[in-house]
Chain A
Amino acid sequence: MYDYDVIVIGAGPGGYPAAIRSAQLGKKTAIIEKEAFGGTCLNWGCIPTKTLIASAERYQQALHADEFGVSAAKVTFDYSLMIKRKDEIVKKLSGGIQMLLKSNGVEMINGSARFEGPDRISVVQADGTFRWLRGASIIIAAGSEAAMPGFLPKHKLVMDSRAFLDLKELPKNLLVLGGGVIGCEFACMAAALECKVTIVEMLDDILVVLDRDVRRVLRKKMEELGIQILTGAPLTEIKVANGKVTGMYKEQELCGDALLISIGRTPNTAALELGRAGVKTEKNGTIPVNQQCRTNVASIFAVGDLITGSIQLAHAATQQGVVAAEAIAGMKSSVEKLCPSCIFTMPEVGLAGLSEAQAKEQGRAVRSAKFSFAALGKAMAAGATDGFVKWIADPQSGQLLGAQAVGSHATELIAEAALAIRNELTIAEIGNTIHSHPTMAEAWMEAAHAYHGQCIHILKR
């Protein structure tokens, strides 16, 4: 009666793991993708940006190699070659995903899906033909796209992050609207490649999810990179004329060669016709789900950016996709509560669990302890002394509630913190764990010692 046990809509970081896990669990599975396998993450998000950021960092290292006793005569870069490198990596990874799906026996369908009923989907395939599918269970993993509100002029110089990644040439002068994760990452990458960048953020600071002390380090370094950061007021009167984008910040007129819009993402739920399946959505288009990613319709699941309250991170979507597949197979899996976040700015930021501010808002007693990279041998050796790591703990039990790291390799360092927090280690146990010397990761152990006032490597006051 059903064509498939499981149909997955969308082959991004939420959808393709869901399809593979379903197939592993013996389900006859199909996956529908309207554009490129790998979704936003792989094609227009995480991977391409990190590729370009790696190029930008390499350029900066070459520029400042003399500090390390290395001289490079004339350091230049060719942005179009960087884009080419990015495209090759994306192509390789996307091909890899299709091979993974194929090897697991998942049927891949190229086309746009929409619901015709709670177990029926119609697909307009890439070749223009129609196809009807019936699935016993359906996983919605259609993702999100950049929010582009109506007040913005419709012009190619006013672009979202996806369009920006396809530019063959970097603008000389870039305006960024929105100082969130995406805006700040693009701003750093462009600024490191000699572009003059101005960020306009309506809130009082950029990246307000971060604790103030983390923001202070990041903002200072971003400003040193040449980024102008304007906060506390919106960018208004945005116009495009003579190949320039202009706008007003308070009384000041800003002008750039392009305007990047990074003010949030909207769920790709409208085209799915969820109403025909009886799936409830919130006003903002997101789909409410339970701990197993089940929607109000028992046989329909939703994962990733389009669920209500989503943190919109690829790795969160992946875990949800696996949970949904397992739930369909009758397993008692549920979504992990702890999800670390990484911000690939210069310097990087990693965070896991509660921030100090969030813990205090919850009315908890909190104690935090920091260790600065400036006091760490490896950081000095690597010329990466900016930043610190910080533990946030419950003073009664010593339980680790959260951690934030800012500085070189912070996005790698946060993995240790996530493991410790998830498994409810206490701060004393971090202090007791031997950390290899000399490494950046030693900072976690030192911060744990600092919590107990037992630091070996801090001057006694």
Chain B
Amino acid sequence: MAQAVIFPKLGQTMEEGAIVKWLAKEGDTVKKGDILFEIETDKANLEVENFFEGVLLKIYIREGITVPVDTVVGYIGAKGEKVPDAPPPPEKSAAQPAAQPIATPTPAVAAPQPLTVAPAATTSTPPLPRPAAAPSKPAKLIISPRARALAKESCIDPAPVKGSGPGGRIVEKDLRAYMESSGYDHLRITPAAKRLAAANQINILTVRGSGDGGRIMTEDIERAIKRKPVAMSRMRQVIANRLVESKQNIPHFYVSVKADITELMSYRLLLKERGTSYSVNDFILEAVILSLEEFPVVNSTTDGKSVSWRGDVDLGMAVSVANGLLVPVIRAAQTLTMAELKAQTKALALKARDGKLTPDEMVGSSFTVSNMGMLGVDQFSAIINPGEAGILAVASAQEVPAIVNNEIKIRTIMAMTLSVDHRIVDGAVAAQFINAIKAKLEELELWKSLT
């Protein structure tokens, strides 16, 4: 009997996702353990293994369509076995309230329409706009067929034309007058560029020509094609929504310090010579963890009515990846030794860069560190992740002249800016907290005891 292939739930908070690539096609023989498809969730791309032996009989969910978890995306079975033309609706699990509107495709439609699901009210992820929303069609234009054909052939958009026909209907005469007044007859365009514009519905009146004497070349049309809106990836959309949510709801307050890490850098080199290499980031994370233990209010969260202490330090670590940013979480970081912290940090960063983080590894942080030390910045301010009370923005360490014991010396100085939710963290507390971090970074004895 044919086995249903289910869109997997790969994280506790995962509710939906899209198949970005099928690695097998209908009719292919597939083995247990083969990678069947790749999925894209809000946070990562993941490969999904096959659990059955047989032939991939049917694919219901095409690439790029967002579906709820547990959706039947296809069937695997014996060659020639009959399977339904449309997928059965996903089984309702306890996690999904019965009232949740799930639009299931009507069985008569062979190619399934995109399924939609509203996110559950409890999720921390804000509602997502649908990707690939086609630019909304303008109000219907009243235009004669001849005028419409002329506009199409001339590669112009007839929308701005004033119609002189009954009810403002645009007729050929109007279009010709518009073309004359808009300088259309003076436009110069290469034959190939014009054909390309026609094929891609580019209004050539809006294209600037780069050829000899302002002539429009294919390159210019290609640029115009690229200007058409493109749907953002799901990851990008999540980032966008979370940033807007944060900036709109959380009153940010910023405070900056400069830490002198000259001694720490020398100590780090010494450790390296002894065979243990820590990154500067490891020390920063540890200093933050220790300080969060001292200032529980910074390790808290608020909804505007109540404030709750998070208990554990679940430290988020911003990692920039190819086309976005991921924040893997180091759980209960206060329980880890420096060596354990270093090992976890490294493992998570590598997983993030290889796209191997699971969604569960990226939720539930209580405070975040964003380190741009490698990117040559003097100072920057970060936006708080919703659900947290603060984020520390770490800039590049720089060698600068500094006054030490009334003398000018070359010191390694690193600027840090703390962003806090001003609803629960007062300015003075923020100042004390960031100075606690700074003091730890500058206190060599501490590191000697920890490493």
| Interfacial residues of chain B within 46-85, with CB under 8 A of chain A in the complex | none
Contact with A along B189-233 (1 / 0, CB 8 A): 011110110010000000000000000011000000000000000
Residues of B within 8 A of A426 (CB): 191-192, 195
A429 interface residue (CB < 8 Å to B):
yes
| Interfacial residues of chain A within 116-165, with CB under 8 A of chain B in the complex | none
The answer to whether B199 touches A396 (Cβ under 8 A) is yes
Residues of B within 8 A of A397 (CB): 192, 195-196, 199, 218
Assembly CA distance A423 to B217 (angstroms)? 8
| Interfacial residues of chain A within 285-324, with CB under 8 A of chain B in the complex | none
Residues of B within 8 A of A399 (CB): 192, 195-196, 218
A338 → chain B closest CB, angstroms: 11
Number of A interface residues, CB 8 Å? 11
The answer to whether A424 touches B217 (Cβ under 8 A) is yes
Assembly CA distance A137 to B68 (angstroms)? 65
Assembly CA distance A396 to B199 (angstroms)? 8
The answer to whether B195 touches A398 (Cβ under 8 A) is yes
What residue in chain B is nearest A396 (Cβ atoms)?
A: B199
Residues of B within 8 A of A400 (CB): 192
Residues of A within 8 A of B199 (CB): 396-397
Assembly CA distance A389 to B193 (angstroms)? 24
Assembly CA distance A189 to B191 (angstroms)? 41
Residues of A within 8 A of B190 (CB): 423-425
What residue in chain B is nearest A426 (Cβ atoms)?
A: B191
A336 → chain B closest CB, angstroms: 11
B422 → chain A closest CB, angstroms: 47
Residues of B within 8 A of A398 (CB): 192, 195
What residue in chain A is nearest B221 (Cβ atoms)?
A: A397
Assembly CA distance A456 to B199 (angstroms)? 30
B377 → chain A closest CB, angstroms: 24
| Interfacial residues of chain B within 104-141, with CB under 8 A of chain A in the complex | none
Residues of B within 8 A of A425 (CB): 190-192
Contact with B along A422-445 (1 / 0, CB 8 A): 011110010000000000000000
Residues of B within 8 A of A394 (CB): 192
Assembly CA distance A423 to B193 (angstroms)? 10
Which single member of A396, A424, A429 contacts B193 (CB below 8 Å)?
Answer: A424
Most chain A CB neighbours (cut-off 10 Å) among B191, B192, B195, B218: B192
B223 → chain A closest CB, angstroms: 14
Assembly CA distance A233 to B78 (angstroms)? 52
| Interfacial residues of chain B within 276-294, with CB under 8 A of chain A in the complex | none
Assembly CA distance A398 to B190 (angstroms)? 12
Assembly CA distance A424 to B211 (angstroms)? 11
Residues of A within 8 A of B192 (CB): 394, 397-400, 424-426
Assembly CA distance A398 to B193 (angstroms)? 10
Assembly CA distance A172 to B190 (angstroms)? 53
Assembly CA distance A448 to B193 (angstroms)? 19
The 10 sampled A-B contact pairs (Cβ below 8 Å) are A396-B199, A397-B196, A399-B196, A399-B218, A424-B190, A424-B217, A426-B191, A426-B192, A426-B195, A429-B191
Q: With A400-B192, A424-B190 given, can you name 12 additional A-B contacts, CB distance below 8 Å? A: A396-B196, A396-B199, A397-B192, A397-B195, A397-B199, A399-B192, A423-B190, A424-B193, A425-B190, A425-B191, A425-B192, A426-B195
9 nearest CB pairs, A to B: A399-B192, A424-B190, A424-B192, A397-B195, A397-B196, A426-B191, A397-B192, A426-B192, A425-B191
